[in-house]
Structure 1
Amino acid sequence: MRTGYTLSGRYRIIRALGEGGMANVYLAHDLILDRDVSVKLLRLDLRDDPSTIRRFQREALAATELVNPNIVQVYDVGEENGMQYLVMEYVEGTDLKAYIKAHFPIAYQEVIHIMEQILSAVQTAHEHNIIHRDLKPQNILIDQHKVAKITDFGIAVALSEHSLTQTNTVLGSVHYLSPEQARGGMATKKSDIYSLGIILYELLTGTVPFEGETAVSIALKHFQSEIPSVREIDPRIPQALENVVLKATAKRPEDRYTDAASMAADLKTSLSPKRAGEVKFTPAQDDDGETKVLPLSALSSLTPETAAAATQTTPQEKTATDSAPAKAAGKKGRKKTRHPRRRKFLLAGLVVLLLVAGILIGMALFRPQMTSVPSVAGRTEQVAKSRLTNAYLTVGKVHKTASATVKVHRAVRTEPRSGTQLKRQTVVDLWISTGPKRYQLADYQGDAYASTAAKLEALGFKVHRESVHSTSVPAGRIMQQSVQAGQKVVPAKTDITFTVSTGSETVTLADLTNKTKAQAQSYATNRNLNLAFDYAYSNDVAKGRVIKQSPGEGAVVQEGDEVTLTMSRGVESESSSSVDQFSVNVKIPFDDDSASESSSEDDSDDDSSSSSSSSASNLIQIYLRDQDHSLSTIYKQMTITSDTSVTLPFTVASGKSGAYKVVRDGHVIASDSHVTKN
C-alpha cells in the first residue's frame, strides 16, 4: 500500500513497518483521534483464501477480548475494497529478538522483569481460554520504557473451537515448539508454558537451545533431547533460576507449571538468597512403554533392585552359561583339532571389522564439513571479511544499506544470518552501513501543520511550532519552514520549525472621530486595517477631520477588514454647490511575480512583516487629487491576492478635473491626470 493512502477515510498510511506470512503491517496516523496506530493489512495474494480470512478474523476476535497492559490493544477492525485490516496500538520500539541481540548479556533482574510482564499477558489470555500457540521473541515488542507487549494472535485459538483438527495444530516457529505440538498433538495452555521456557532460556543465554539444518531436525530435538543446561553456558546463573527453565520446558506437560501465574511466582523468588542451596529440578520418570536407552552415566543412579533386574539373565542364558564349563571339559581332548577353524573365524571377523572401519572412515571423509556463520555486526568491512574467511566461508556480494544504529562503513548483518550452520566454503553476502537513512524534505508551505508534524515526527524529526497572525493564510496552515525544501537530512538529528498561521488577529476599534486623516491612517496601518473615506460638510467638525466612523468605537473587527471614515469638508459655502461629484471604477490586476519577490525580500524582516508578506499578495496604494485629496498623500492602502476592482470617489469644482495613481508593490501600474465627470 502506498504512502499517503487514507484507509476508510481515517487512517493515513505513513510507512511500512514489516511483512509477515499472513499480513503486512504499516504505521498510520488516525486523523480523527490524532494518534499513530499500526495497521495490519491482509496480503493481496491471500484475500481470496477463506481459511486465511477466518484466521485473520480470529486474531481480531481473540485480541479484542483481551485487556492487559502487556498485550497490544486492537482499536478497530474493518474491510475496504476487499481489504481486511486491523487497527492496533502502535508500539514504538523493537521486538524481543532484536532487543536480546542488542543488549545481551541482560541482567538477571531485568530478565525476570521482562518475563513477569509476558507471563501476566499470557495468564490473561489463558483466563479467557485463549492459547497463543506462537509465542516467540519476534511476537513480543519492547517499547522505549522497556514495557513488553505480546502481539500477533493470528494463530491463537479458543479452547471451545471444535473446527480445528490434529493436522493443523503445528503452527508457529519450530525453535519454540512444544514436544506435543512437534508430535502433531493438540496445543494446550501448557504448550504456551513450554514456549515461555524457551524464551527465558534465550534471554539468559542469548541463543535458542536447539539448532538444526531443517525444521524437522529441530522439532525432533524438542521431544527427544534434553534442554541444555543454562548453567553450563553461564555458571553464574542461580540453580533456582535454571530450575524455572527446566520445569517450564519439561517434556511431559504434567511436569510443567500448572499455569503462567505459577511460573511467574516461582520466577519472582528465583534470585532470593533463601533458594541458594536449591537442588536441580528433575521431572518425574514415567515408563510409557517406549524403548529407551540409558546412558552409562545413568547406571550409577540405579538402585540395587533395579541394577539386579537390569543384569538378571533369562533361564536359557543361565543354562547356557552353566553348561559351558562342562562342554569345555568334555571337549578338551579335541581342542587341538579346533584351532584351525577358530583361526578362520578370527580372520573373517577381522576382515569384517576392517570393512566396517573403512566404511565409517569413508563416510567421515566424504561427509560435508559444517561451519557456523560468525557474528560480524559492528565490525569494519575488512575485519568482517576476515572473520568469514577464518570460518571457512566464501565472501559473496557486499551490499550497502542504511542503518541508524551501526556506524558508517561497518557491518550490519550477513545473509545467511549469524549462527546459521552451513557447509564450508558456502557463499555469504555482507551488508555494510552507509549511516542513518537521509530524508529529502518537501515544501510544506500551505500544508496542514497537524498532519505534516505527525508524519515527520514518525520519521524521527523533532518538530517545533511558532504561531503568527495572518490575514491571507488560513489558521493551522504552514507559512514558513526553517529547513529548506529539497535538503536531505538525517531525521533523528534534525530539528525543524514551522511558522503556522493562527488566522487574522481581532482588533477592537478606538474612537477615531475628530482625528486627522494622517492620524487615522497611522492607526489603521499599525493594526493592519484598510480605510475608506467619505466626505461631508460640517458646521461642528473642522475641515480634514473625522466626523464619524463605520464600524463605530468598540466594534471588534478582523485584521484586513475595512473601516469607513467620513471626513469633514468644513462649513458649506455658496460656492460649494457648484461642484461635481462622480466615481471612477479601476481594475487592479494581481501580479504573482511581484508577490514572490516581495516575499523573498521580506524574509529577513521581523515576525510581523514576515507574516503579512510570506504568502503571495500585492501591497496596493492609491493616491487621489480632487477637492478633498492631494496626490502627495495616500488615499487608500490594501493588500490583494487576486484581481480586484475599486471605486474611486471624486469631488471637483465644476469645469475642473481630478487625477489618480495606483502603485503596486512600489511600482505605478495605473494613472490618469485628467478625470472628469463625463
Structure 2
Amino acid sequence: MEPAAKWQVSALNPHTLHLMERAEADSLIGQVLDGRYVVRSRIARGGMATVYAGHDTKLDRTVALKVMHANLAGDEDFVRRFVDEARHAAALSHPNVVAMYDQGTDQGRVFLVMEYVAGRTLRDLLTERGRLGPRAALQVLRPILAALGAAHRVGLVHRDVKPENVLLAADGQVKVTDFGLARAVTASRQTQTGMLIGTVAYLAPEQVLTGDADARTDVYAAGIMLFELLTGYQPYQAGTPLAVAYRHVNETVPAPSSVIPGLPPQLDALVAGATDRDPARRPPDAGRFDAVAGEVLQALPPDIDSTSASVVPVPLGPSQAADGTRASLSERVTQNFRVSPDAPSSGHDGTPNPHTMVISGFEGPPRTRWRRRRASGLFAACVVVALLFGGFVWFQTEGRTARVPQLVGLSEADARLRAEKLGLKVKAGSSRQDPRVPKDKVAQVEPGVGTQVRTGTLLTLVLSTGKPPVAVPDVRKQPLDQAEQLLRQAGLQPGRQVRQDSATVPRGDVITTRPAAGKKQNPEEPVTLVVSRGITMPDLSGLTPSQAARKLAALGLNAQWRQQAPDNGQQPNTVIGQDPPAGQPVNRGDAVQVTFTDQSQCQWDPFCSYGGDQNDGGG
C-alpha cells in the first residue's frame, strides 16, 4: 500500500504553481552561492531540483548547479541523507558518469556542483527522432550500462535510470547523472506534485511492491529504456501512475519486434532477460548486461539501422505480453475492445489522439466510450478492493510484531528504510572499527537480527568506521606506476592525479601525496597523487644571450650556444631560435640549443667575446 501513497494531486492551480516555482527559480540567476559559484542561466527544472549553468570563480570553469527545491531543502532528514549520498556519488569516477565536484548550503538552499556537459538529454534525442536503429540503440545503451556497472561494483544503485538522466555531450560522449539522489529522496519520504520516486515508467516490480532496490532494479530500468530506444514507445501506457505501476507488477514487457516487425530475436531476448519480473532471473548487475549487449551488437548486420528505419511501427495493443499467454486484470477489462492499428493513443510528446479515447492506456473508437467508462470503473474498484485487502492482511500479519531484519552491511539510510517497512524505528548509536564492514555501513544492530519485537520498537545501529587507518608511504620522486604500486602494497587506494610544473622533480614522477607521507588515511578513501609535468620551456626569442643564459640557469637547464649572422633586419646580439621550442615540457639538466645573431655591433655584452659555436653552462 505504501507505494500508492506516493502519488498526490496538488491543491494548487497548476498555472499558479508553475508561476510560483518559476519566480523562485529565476530569482537565483545572477546570485553567488557559497561565495564562489555564480548562477548564470537556467538549464532545466525537474521533480527534485532546478539545474543552472554556473561559473566557478575559484577554478575559473563552467559548472552545472543543481539547486534542490525549497520543500526538500527544508526537510532536515532529507538534507542529512542527501549530503551522505552526494559524498558517496562523488567518489564514483568514470568517464560515462557526470562528475560531482562539490556540495553545499547557502541561505537554506541545498545545492550540488557538477560537471557541465554541453549537449542534450537522451529524452531530447528520442523526442526528435522517435526511435533509434538497433545498432545505434545499443551503442547508446552500452556507455550507460558501463556507468551503472561501475556504480554497482562499489555498491551504489542509481534507482532512477531514465532518458532524462542520460546526457549526450556535443562530442558524442554519453554520461549518466543524478547518482544517489533518488535514494536520498526516498529515505526522506517526501512526495511532490507529479513526482514519483523512481519514474513510474521505468520502475521494477519489486520497487512498486516493497520499495527495495538493488543493481537488478537498475538493470530492469535499462531494459525498459532499451525497449523505448528500439520502438519509440514505453511498454506500459496508462491513465494514472498507479495503473502503470500495476502493469509493471502483473504483465510481461512485450517483445520489441511486436512493435517494429523484423527486429532480430536477440534483441527480444535482451529486453526480456533484463525486464524479467523475477529479479533473480535478470542479469545480476549492469556489467553483465553490458557484456551480453556487446555480444548482440557484434552479431547485428552492419546495415540493420538503414533497413529497419523504413519499418512502420505497430501500435502496442492492450497488455501485449511477450509470451502471448498472460492475461492480467487490465487485459480482461479491455480485451473485447478493438485497437485501431493506425491510430496510436498518443505521440511521443504525450498528446492524445483526437480520434481515440484512452482508458488505462488502451485505445478504442469513440462509439465505445460508455463501455470504456464502465470498464474503467470496474478496474478502479478492483484496484481499491485489492489495496484494502492487502492492508488488512498486512495489519494481521505484520502490524503488531516483527522480527528484526538483517541490517548489517547496509547504509544507515537503507537500514532505516528496511526497518520502517516493518514498523520499526532506528537510531545511530556508537561507532566501531570493523575491517569486515565498509565505512559508514551497519556493523551491528541491537536487539539482534531475528529477535521478535513489537512494532514501534527502537533499534540501535552500530556503524562501522571501516578498517584501521594506514600511514601513507613516502612515494615522492617515484615514477607514477611505482608510486601507485607502493600505495596498494600499503593497503591504500591510488586516487586522482593532479599535474603540476616542477623544476626539481622529473616529468612523470610524484611530487607529493594528499594526505602527505606519514599521515594516517582510511583504506577506503583514495590517496591523491601530485605528479610532475616537469618544466615548461620558456620563450627566449628577443632576449640577449646573457638574459637567456640567466633564465635557463634559474631553471637548471644547460644552454648550448650557436652564433649566426643577422638576416633580414634582425637585431644583432639577439636570440632568434631555440630547441626545444617554447611551451614544450623539459626536465632539469636537459640541454637547450640557443641560436643568436653575431656580436659585430655589440660593445657591452660579455657574449661579444665569443666566436663560432660556444657552449655556455648557463653562467
TM-score, normalising length from structure 1? 0.41
Relative to total residues, which structure has the larger strand share, 1 or 2?
1
Q: Which has the larger radius of gyration?
A: 1
